[in-house]
Structure 1
Amino acid sequence: MKKITFALFLTLLLSVFTSFAQERPAATKVKVTGNVTEKISKQPLEYATITLTNTKNPKSIAGGITNNKGEFDVDVTPGTYDIKVEFISFKATEIKSKNITENTNLGTVGLDEDATQLQAVEVRAEATTVQIKLDKKVYSVGQDLLVKGGTVSDVLDNIPSVTVDADGTIALRGNDNVRILIDGRPSNAINISEALRQIPADAIDKVEVVTNPSARYDSEGGGGLLNIILKKGKNQGINGTIILSAGDPKNYGVSGNVNYKTEQFNLYTTTGYSNRQNNGNSRTDSQYFLDGVTSKYTNERRENERSSEGYNSNVGLDWYLDKSTTWSNSINVRRNSGGNPETVITDNFNAQNIFQYTNYRFNDQFSESKSAEFNTNFVKNFTKEGHKLTIDGSFSSNRDNDNSEITDLSITNTANVQTQQRNIVQTDYVLPLGKASQFEAGYKGDFNKLFTDYKVDNLNAMTGLFENDYRYTNVLDYREQINALYSQFGTKINKFSILLGLRWEDSKITINQLTAADFSTKKYNNFFPSAFFTYEVSDKSSVSLNYSRRISRPRGRFINPFSSLSSAINIFKGNPNLDPSLTDAFDLGFLKRWSKLTLSTSAYINKTTDSFQFVRSPSGEFVDGTPVIYSSPVNLGKETRFGFEFTLNYNPFKWWKLNSNFNFFRNKTEGEYSYTVTEQGLPVTVNESLNNTANSWFTRLSSKISLPYKIDWQTNFTYNGPQNTAQGKNKGNGAVNLGFSKDLLKDKATIALNVQDLFNSRKRITETYLESLNSYSEMQWRTRQATLSFTYRFNQKKGEKQQQKKRGDDNGGSDEFPG
């Protein structure tokens, strides 16, 4: 593996040096610059093409494409040129016989939409599913056949660099300290993993993957951030889409997005209903030791039938107060209810592995969640392009109610009621300085209250009454206040860009365990510097070096001592004494575009202090002679993560698109963990070294082929390599997803079929080695699922380009600079 890593890194360096050697412009050339926009909306057009043909030598042709700000920069030898600016579905603009003898700025070139082309354009020529940029990857959900009828978790699981574990844990480049944003704001969900499984994929427009965010973003998330952007209709007039889906196991739903846009306002809504069932299972085989000698064996088997019925609606209004001012308001409402009947069968064996008896346990769980969120956004664009002020507010309320009745030798009732209120206010100010510099500053206040009431009651067989079990009962009041200020300055000198930023966050965390009468307050403030350096080797290749400091604050079940009791012998226990971890993130990247291929590579190092990891330890309690094992997060110590990844977009033919991603990382942890056990009636402290070095990797390959008769075929293969952990190892695992679609009714409709986990192979497989326990476990959250969907579009063609809102989706400002 070391040789493979070295070869990949050497390939990166050779690519960079080759580009420097082959693409250095001749000293006699001059620059032709400018920017391309939509004439009506004044919004920049990315990937517009610029062609310059020498009038005296037609074979002498130069050209380039615009960046995401619509800017272009072309090197030509002095002479007279015919210049042509083109973009799909827009009328081309030509400048005849332009005499260019020195550096020339053509200014702004505005393109008009070509209504004839829009009606006659081949609708199957869709936008690239994944757009690779130097600082992020943008994933267009609408083009993906594999998520039709699925959820946001299914969407994330198909994105380069992102993995979703069997239990819903989301990781970016192998790091699960990831910040999840929705429309640039933190999600208001209490359990983010579960919430993402409730939001239908059809409500999502695109997802932005930012591996090393700048000072403008929250410092939260040592592994980076994912920004989930919801659909908001943007086309003129009234138009929209309706989607029907059904699948097996039970999975059916309906959703629609409609918008009505005029010169004065844009009214839009996305509303959906879903009813789904996810069948899952798990197994844990354990060998227990007492004083170094085997004492017994257990084989635990679980079967789940999770059901979920949900409704979500997002209604918004963009009000164009004048040509430079927009006020947007939206309301998002979600409601979900479901059950999770779980059967647990545990076979018990003696020290000689001879069967003794079987325990049966049935957990009938019911859950209900409600959330409401109001968002408001004010944007003022000043006279100078890029000069703007934005003010945002987000106010949300969320309530989760989980109840279960556990039946084994007795009856146990659990109730978990969680309520959360989150208020966010933010303002951002962007000021261009000259033609090549930009200043940005802002404030953000994030105020969060989470109240959790978890109760366990056991039936007393003698009295017939339920009695509270104080061991697992807890009331937790968690409050978080974070005030942040940031400033950053960017400039561009020729082909060299610099972005320097500094963010300051003041945090006040209060944790009040009402049941245990334990109150604690944590106050700390931190500076989070960031620095981004980019060199444009040419108009098609760039090199970058980035640094940022990040923080990961423990929340929710990480700090709640008890929030579930699904197993009598394997219990998750939160740790209210967890401290936040701090990460220094370094990233070296290279981006290269060819006519049919886009390559993005990066080498990265993350150094984390007070990293929290999960450890397993005996609780000292026994159930029918079987030790009860706690699984808890602890501040382990230091963690150093080194990795290398590359992402490829390759279109060998018009009818075939390939996307691939490979990530290798090496994770080194240093730390110790102590716990107390009872031996021969006396307490004994066990000190366990958790020093560990682990290598792992994962890869993803997606292929999309356009077949005759307007049939599309998409295949996705994912493999997660094995990885050693501090107390065992995770085994490798692979899965395949498959999808087909066909256009109908003169391309106004599409029918699609997809199969998730085609070979039913997606499982989390772990091995754990402790002084008192060895165990092997498999967990499959969802078995193979097939979904059939029907999409109908009215007043809107498939793949039709939509107008961008005047405010970007990046929650204010931009990492790009004028020039």
Structure 2
Amino acid sequence: MTKKITILICCLFSATFLFAQQEPTLNTIKISGKIVDAATNQALEYATVILKDIKTQKVSGGITDLNGFFNIQVPKSRYEISVEFISFKTIKFPAQEITANKDLGIIKLKEDAASLDEIVVIAEKSTVDIRLDKKIYNVGKDMTVKGGTASDVLDNVPSVDVDPEGTVSLRGSENVRILIDGKPSAMVGLNGADALRQLPSDAIERVEVITSPSARYDSEGTAGILNIILRKGRANGFNGSVNVNVGDPRSYQSSVNLNLRSEKINLFTNFGYRDRRGPGRYNSDISYLSNGIVDSTRIEDRNFDRASKGFNGNVGLEYFINKKSSLTGTIFVRDSDGQNLSTTEISSFDPSGNSLFNSLRIQDEGETDQSLQFSLNYVNNFNENGHKLTLDYQYGVDKENESAIITDDRPETNTTDELSIDKLFQADYVLPIGKNSQFEAGYRGNFENLTSDYLVTLSNSDEFNPSNNLEFTQNVNAFYTQFGSKVNKFSYLFGVRAELTKIDVNLLTSQEKFTKNYTDFFPTVNLGYEMTEDQSFTLGYSRRLRRPRSRSLNPFENRASRTVISKGNVDLDPTYTNSFDLGYLNRWGKLTLNSSIYYQHSTNDIVRVNRQEVRLIDGKETNVLVRQPINLASEDRMGFEFNANYNPSRKLRFSGSFNFFQFKTDGDYSYEVTNPTTGTTSTINQNFDATNTSWFTRFDARVTLPADIEWQTRLFYRGPRSDAQSDTEGILSANLAFSKDILKDKGTLVLNVSDVFNSRKYVTNAFAPSRDNPTNITNQSFQWRMRQISLNFTYRFNQNKNQKNKNSQEREDDGGGEF
């Protein structure tokens, strides 16, 4: 693999020099400046600067960055300069001879309210915006997620994969931090996978993929950060949209987005309701071996019938205290009910195929999930150069209740009641130094309190009862500082973050208490070099960690199956990771390529392993698989990825991504197995040394057909992968969508087919206790959701389809964008 990485690095640098433009000659000058909103002095990102060479009639130009700055390199000549931004009045500078570097200073654009209904967008912004520090996926442009959920949105983001069970991974790693508007949130809930399926895609404006976070961000998440930005109206006056979706299998969704903005206030709301049904299938074929020979076989066929109804609402009020400061309060509420019915047919056979027993297991589970979150944000822009103070307070409550009645030859009932209360305090201070330097410092306090009561009622009181009552407290106080500057073509951002963590785990059932305290420092380095306006390199280093969550620490057993059980491990310690990322960005006219090579070294790695236990089931000794997280020695992960956008015309747009990675795990695990009949104990030693390569790729095409019908196709393939205990097959899926604007462009119809070939299935072979000497081999097939066909209708009033949210960046993530 080392040779492969070396070749890749050589290819990357070779491409750089092949496509690099010549260094600027003495005939080249730079035109720079900053563009802001005249009313609020907020920087305008994506404002367009157009340069027309009077002598050659050649037109060139550029766009502003996150902070409103532009820096355009052109030959010496006589230029006519104009500055444009959607819904703002264009400013034109008279033709002038420019023979030396020229700074146009701060250019203030005034809003042109009369033009809102007559905007013509010359070049539609691509679905994925590529930055030096992050990739931004704009949800509004994507038809294939209309009527979907946050989980569907993330599954279409470059570098991200969501498996059929809802687990989110970034560059092949599941240890990714998910934030809402730059902060931990009750919206993600107690169970992240389930919560993401409840948040409608229509509530999401964009997703930011941050693979080399600076010190400003939490250190949590060794693979990086996914920051989900919710919609916040920014246009003046009263405007909004209504969205209705129907689908098969049953899917009814509706949402309303309303916005009222004046000189002093901005009121924005989003309400949504959904009623969905999701059939699915699970098959498990377990072969039990004795001395390498099959002793018996157990087959479980399970059908899911999941129904859920839910409401979510988000109401925010932004008050403009003056032109430099504002106060924003937001309330988010979610209330959902689910009913999951699973029917499992269980059969067992001897080696000759003779039936040993048959049974039917029915699990009827009800679930309620309620979330309430209040947040308060204060922003003070001391001046228009970026001197800024931001204060945040957030309070969230999440309640979850699950109750399951299990009917088979040994009926049982289990219930789970969980309550989580989270508080956040945050302060961020930004001080520009000169024109090209910036100092930042801040504090964040996260305080989490969770109680979980898990109760199992068995028909046979003599059987093992996994009931458990847990109290979990985690307090994290973090301080950070960073400094960045730009010197000619070179830019840097150095930072360090200190986090003080205290975790208390109280097992009330067994009257055991565990306390863990640790203080850690997390340095970050981000370097950038702009060879030309269209070509640049980035190099990032960050130290990050993965804290075990409450569910990973809670030793209760999941009772979905009598022979396959999941539980937590109260002895887990954090995983620490050193990450390196080398990126390359190049634009060749209509083609944009963003690529990177990355390497991560993790110690104390948390891995969920399969171990074997012998338990009495129906009076017979039975091997039971227990899945439990443990700390292994280390893991090395390396890989490369590239994302490309090609827009040959307004009617034809392509994008694609490819990610290849290898991970190498080193570690041994020993545990004891006790025979329930004889009481004898034996020690099992497992070696988890493994090297595996895998990859996934995504392709997206958007075509404008006759009658202005938009056609979008998305293909995704995740390659097969292996580890010390399992082999997983590859997965191919395809989505298809057609869109048509109606009602004088105020309405849009979208027909969407998700998983066209009904092929999104998770198939794996697991070996326990080890691949080399298994006592049982499990073949599993799982399909969470069948093919979905839906029709979506959106109606907009007092707003244009392509209207730009001009201030959507002013409260971006937690304190602003990267330097």
SS of 2:234 mapped into structure 1: coil
Q: Partner amino acid for 1:476?
A: L
| 2:23 corresponds to | 24
Q: Partner amino acid for 1:166?
A: P
The verdict on how the C-alpha distance between 1:372 and 1:237 changes in structure 2, with shifts beyond 3 A counting, is same
Please state if 1:647 is matched with 2:643. Answer: yes
* Counterpart pick for 1:530 among 524, 527, 533: 524
Aligned pairs (5 A) from 1:192-231: 192-231=192-231
SS of 2:317 mapped into structure 1: strand
Deviation at 1:28, TM superposition (A): 4.2
Alpha-carbon distance between aligned partners in 2 of 1:691 and 1:651, rounded to the nearest angstrom: 45
| 2:80 corresponds to | 82
Deviation at 1:595, TM superposition (A): 2.5
The answer to whether the Cα contact below 8 Å between 1:127 and 1:799 also exists between their aligned partners in 2 is no
Aligned pairs (5 A) from 1:680-691: 682-691=680-689
Deviation at 1:109, TM superposition (A): 2.3
Q: Partner amino acid for 2:758?
A: N
* Counterpart pick for 1:160 among 146, 153, 158: 158
| 1:187 corresponds to | 185
* Counterpart pick for 1:516 among 510, 520, 545: 510
The verdict on how the C-alpha distance between 1:181 and 1:490 changes in structure 2, with shifts beyond 3 A counting, is same
Please state if 1:375 is matched with 2:375. Answer: yes
* Counterpart pick for 1:795 among 794, 798, 813: 798
Deviation at 1:169, TM superposition (A): 0.5
Alpha-carbon distance between aligned partners in 2 of 1:7 and 1:504, rounded to the nearest angstrom: 37
Alpha-carbon distance between aligned partners in 2 of 1:561 and 1:260, rounded to the nearest angstrom: 49
| 1:409 corresponds to | 409
The verdict on how the C-alpha distance between 1:137 and 1:54 changes in structure 2, with shifts beyond 3 A counting, is closer
| 1:774 corresponds to | 777
| 2:667 corresponds to | 671
SS of 1:220 mapped into structure 2: coil
TM-score (norm 1): 0.95
Please state if 1:35 is matched with 2:57. Answer: no
The answer to whether the Cα contact below 8 Å between 1:46 and 1:67 also exists between their aligned partners in 2 is yes
Alpha-carbon distance between aligned partners in 2 of 1:52 and 1:479, rounded to the nearest angstrom: 58
| 2:147 corresponds to | 149
| 1:631 corresponds to | 627
Deviation at 1:517, TM superposition (A): 1.3
Alpha-carbon distance between aligned partners in 2 of 1:394 and 1:175, rounded to the nearest angstrom: 29
TM-score (norm 2): 0.95
Alpha-carbon distance between aligned partners in 1 of 2:704 and 2:214, rounded to the nearest angstrom: 38
Q: Partner amino acid for 2:358?
A: T
Deviation at 1:69, TM superposition (A): 2.3
| 1:484 corresponds to | 478
| 2:564 corresponds to | 570
The verdict on how the C-alpha distance between 1:268 and 1:49 changes in structure 2, with shifts beyond 3 A counting, is closer
The verdict on how the C-alpha distance between 1:145 and 1:515 changes in structure 2, with shifts beyond 3 A counting, is same
Comparing 550-559 and 418-427, the one that deviates more: 550-559
Q: What per-residue deviation string (whole Å, max 9, x for no partner) do you get for residues 227-286 of structure 1?
A: 111111111111001111111111102110101100000111100110101111111111
Deviation at 1:341, TM superposition (A): 0.5
| 2:735 corresponds to | 737
| 2:786 corresponds to | 783
| 2:323 corresponds to | 323
The answer to whether the Cα contact below 8 Å between 2:335 and 2:369 also exists between their aligned partners in 1 is yes
Alpha-carbon distance between aligned partners in 2 of 1:59 and 1:146, rounded to the nearest angstrom: 41
Q: What per-residue deviation string (whole Å, max 9, x for no partner) do you get for residues 313-363 of structure 1?
A: 111100001111100001101000011101111110113343322121000
| 1:464 corresponds to | none
Alpha-carbon distance between aligned partners in 2 of 1:510 and 1:602, rounded to the nearest angstrom: 39
The answer to whether the Cα contact below 8 Å between 2:44 and 2:806 also exists between their aligned partners in 1 is no
The answer to whether the Cα contact below 8 Å between 2:597 and 2:641 also exists between their aligned partners in 1 is yes
Q: Partner amino acid for 2:49?
A: I
Comparing 83-92 and 1-10, the one that deviates more: 1-10
The verdict on how the C-alpha distance between 1:743 and 1:42 changes in structure 2, with shifts beyond 3 A counting, is same
| 2:64 corresponds to | 66
Alpha-carbon distance between aligned partners in 2 of 1:696 and 1:50, rounded to the nearest angstrom: 43
The answer to whether the Cα contact below 8 Å between 1:716 and 1:736 also exists between their aligned partners in 2 is yes
Deviation at 1:167, TM superposition (A): 0.8
SS of 1:186 mapped into structure 2: coil
Deviation at 1:654, TM superposition (A): 0.9
Deviation at 1:124, TM superposition (A): 9.7
| 1:45 corresponds to | 44
The answer to whether the Cα contact below 8 Å between 1:125 and 1:799 also exists between their aligned partners in 2 is no
Q: Partner amino acid for 2:686?
A: E
SS of 1:202 mapped into structure 2: helix
Q: Partner amino acid for 2:800?
A: K
The answer to whether the Cα contact below 8 Å between 1:256 and 1:271 also exists between their aligned partners in 2 is yes
Alpha-carbon distance between aligned partners in 1 of 2:355 and 2:579, rounded to the nearest angstrom: 52
Q: What per-residue deviation string (whole Å, max 9, x for no partner) do you get for residues 448-495 of structure 1?
A: 0111100110125xxxxxx59653111111100000000000011011
The answer to whether the Cα contact below 8 Å between 2:42 and 2:384 also exists between their aligned partners in 1 is no
Q: What per-residue deviation string (whole Å, max 9, x for no partner) do you get for residues 522-559 of structure 1?
A: 00010000000000111112100000010101113211
Comparing 29-38 and 527-536, the one that deviates more: 29-38
The verdict on how the C-alpha distance between 1:146 and 1:72 changes in structure 2, with shifts beyond 3 A counting, is same
Deviation at 1:377, TM superposition (A): 0.3
The answer to whether the Cα contact below 8 Å between 1:123 and 1:798 also exists between their aligned partners in 2 is no
Alpha-carbon distance between aligned partners in 1 of 2:324 and 2:44, rounded to the nearest angstrom: 19
SS of 2:347 mapped into structure 1: strand
Comparing 515-524 and 85-94, the one that deviates more: 85-94
The answer to whether the Cα contact below 8 Å between 1:156 and 1:164 also exists between their aligned partners in 2 is yes
Q: Partner amino acid for 1:15?
A: A
Comparing 296-305 and 554-563, the one that deviates more: 554-563
Alpha-carbon distance between aligned partners in 2 of 1:63 and 1:754, rounded to the nearest angstrom: 38
Deviation at 1:47, TM superposition (A): 3.7
SS of 2:605 mapped into structure 1: strand
Q: Partner amino acid for 1:180?
A: I
Alpha-carbon distance between aligned partners in 2 of 1:742 and 1:364, rounded to the nearest angstrom: 42
The answer to whether the Cα contact below 8 Å between 2:66 and 2:809 also exists between their aligned partners in 1 is no
The verdict on how the C-alpha distance between 1:120 and 1:686 changes in structure 2, with shifts beyond 3 A counting, is same
The answer to whether the Cα contact below 8 Å between 1:454 and 1:563 also exists between their aligned partners in 2 is no
Q: Partner amino acid for 1:667?
A: F
The answer to whether the Cα contact below 8 Å between 1:123 and 1:800 also exists between their aligned partners in 2 is no
Q: Partner amino acid for 2:555?
A: P
Deviation at 1:123, TM superposition (A): 6.9
- In structure 1, list runs of 5 or more residues that go unmatched: 461-466
Q: How many residues align?
A: 808
Comparing 503-512 and 63-72, the one that deviates more: 63-72
Alpha-carbon distance between aligned partners in 2 of 1:115 and 1:434, rounded to the nearest angstrom: 35
Identity over the aligned pairs, expressed in percent? 43
SS of 2:126 mapped into structure 1: coil
SS of 1:15 mapped into structure 2: helix
SS of 1:185 mapped into structure 2: coil
SS of 1:471 mapped into structure 2: coil
Please state if 1:294 is matched with 2:288. Answer: no
Deviation at 1:764, TM superposition (A): 1.2
The verdict on how the C-alpha distance between 1:44 and 1:23 changes in structure 2, with shifts beyond 3 A counting, is farther
Comparing 546-555 and 22-31, the one that deviates more: 22-31
The answer to whether the Cα contact below 8 Å between 2:713 and 2:734 also exists between their aligned partners in 1 is yes
The answer to whether the Cα contact below 8 Å between 1:557 and 1:563 also exists between their aligned partners in 2 is no
Q: Partner amino acid for 1:658?
A: F
Deviation at 1:726, TM superposition (A): 1.4
Deviation at 1:594, TM superposition (A): 2.8
Alpha-carbon distance between aligned partners in 2 of 1:777 and 1:427, rounded to the nearest angstrom: 48
Q: Partner amino acid for 1:286?
A: I
SS of 2:152 mapped into structure 1: helix
Q: Partner amino acid for 2:642?
A: F
Alpha-carbon distance between aligned partners in 1 of 2:34 and 2:451, rounded to the nearest angstrom: 52
* Counterpart pick for 1:724 among 715, 722, 725: 722
Q: Partner amino acid for 1:107?
A: G
Q: What per-residue deviation string (whole Å, max 9, x for no partner) do you get for residues 165-219 of structure 1?
A: 1111000111110101011111221111111111111111111111111100000
Alpha-carbon distance between aligned partners in 1 of 2:347 and 2:399, rounded to the nearest angstrom: 38
